[in-house]
Amino acid sequence: MRIVALAGGIGGARFLRGLLAAVGPQDEITVIGNTGDDIHLYGLKVCPDLDTVMYTLGGGINEEQGWGRTDETWSIKAEMKEYGVGPEWFGLGDRDFATHLVRSQMLTAGYSLSQVTEALCVRWNPGVRLLPMSDDRVETHVRITDEQGTRAVHFQEYWVRLHAAVDAEAIIPVGADTAKPAPGVLEALAEADVILFPPSNPVVSIGTILAVPGIREAVAAAPAPVVGLSPIIGGAPVRGMADKVLAAVGVEATAAAVALNYGSSLIDGWLVDSADQDAVAAVEAAGIACRAVPLLMTDVEATAGMARAALALAEQVRT
């Protein structure tokens, strides 16, 4: 079976680990990763979501944090601080720096981001084919109003420095409108047997991937069933501040509202948590098959159960 998953960072990566545990060795998984979180720092290109997927599946992730490298040290950051060079709010550890150095060196030499990602994955051997959504530069910005007035800040500044404490007024994936899907992305969607939306952020992870012209259309046109899993349980994100970016696009932070926002033109099936059993009827009324199952990724086995439930629902909606 050829499975294609769209993925952000932590939510996507943890789900993929369960998916890998649920499928057989003959199944092929292609991951289309969000690059809208990418940021340029110290002349280096940092791709937080691609790296979270790569490190998580490759066994190099800091498990407690959910991002960054295991057994990390922070000498470079401390030295930068001595020079008074920031940003202090963004955590790049010494081991992580090596990834960004290799990536940036290869990009400068003329390789594309997909080629670089493939090269980095030779080391991490994530067990999936990891494709960036695009080789073109896309950076999500967030419009906010604070004491400095109304302005757009980089998504990382909004999320990491400001902890989404001010309201997001608009989410702008800068560059997405002219970006092209990376090589292999449209082909993978067209040839997929199943397409999955892990419980990644619907706005700044999945939404950004879908904002690359051609990708939303390819998902909608794919013959494969498309099944998503809710990142919202009991009216709140399980982790993080997804409610703040959902509000910016006028979507309530509920499992049903997120499904309806994707809509039946995009998804055929939707899983909500057992706690959101009440949401099932509203989602089904919108023409999306819906089941309530446990959706907490407490460990790999629980997550594999979620993946099996998503694949089972895909079989049920396959026409």
Please say which residue, 8 or 60, places its beta carbon nearer to ligand GDP: 8
User: Least Å distance between CB 46 and ligand GDP?
Assistant: 13
User: Least Å distance between CB 78 and ligand GDP?
Assistant: 25
Find the Cα–Cα–Cα–Cα dihedral 64, 70, 76, 81, rounded to 10°.
10
Q: Which among 48-56, 211-219, 239-247, 258-266 is the span making contact with Ca ion, rule CB under 5 A?
A: 48-56
Is 9 a binder of Ca ion (CB under 5 A)? yes
Please say which residue, 224 or 292, places its beta carbon nearer to ligand GDP: 292
Is 37 a binder of Ca ion (CB under 5 A)? yes
Please say which residue, 171 or 288, places its beta carbon nearer to Ca ion: 171
User: Least Å distance between CB 136 and Ca ion?
Assistant: 18
Please say which residue, 49 or 273, places its beta carbon nearer to Ca ion: 49
User: Least Å distance between CB 39 and ligand GDP?
Assistant: 13
User: Least Å distance between CB 11 and ligand GDP?
Assistant: 2
User: Least Å distance between CB 230 and ligand GDP?
Assistant: 6
Please say which residue, 106 or 262, places its beta carbon nearer to ligand GDP: 262
Secondary structure of the chain in HEC code, one letter for each residue: CEEEEEECCHHHHHHHHHHHHHCCCCCEEEEEECCCCCEEECCEEECHHHHHHHHHHHCCECCCCCCCECCCCCHHHHHHHHCCCCCCCCCCCHHHHHHHHHHHHHHHCCCCHHHHHHHHHHHHCCCCEEEECECCCCEEEEEEEECCEEEEEEHHHHHHHCCCCCCCCEEEEECHHHCCECCCHHHHHHHCCEEEECCCCCCCCHHHHHCCCCHHHHHHHCCCCEEEECCEECCEECCCCHHHHHHHCCCCCCHHHHHHHHCCCCCCEEEEEHHHHHHHHHHHHCCCEEEEECCCCCCHHHHHHHHHHHHHHHHHHCC
Q: Which among 9-17, 165-173, 270-278, 291-299 is the span making contact with Ca ion, rule CB under 5 A?
A: 9-17
Separation between Cα atoms, residue 313 and residue 269, nearest integer Å: 7
Is 198 a binder of Ca ion (CB under 5 A)? no
Is 173 a binder of Ca ion (CB under 5 A)? no
Residues near ligand GDP, by CB under 6 A? 7-12, 49, 52, 199-201, 205, 229-231, 233, 237-240, 242, 295-297
Please say which residue, 54 or 106, places its beta carbon nearer to ligand GDP: 54
Please say which residue, 114 or 208, places its beta carbon nearer to ligand GDP: 208
Chain positions contacting Ca ion, by CB under 5 A: 8-9, 37, 49
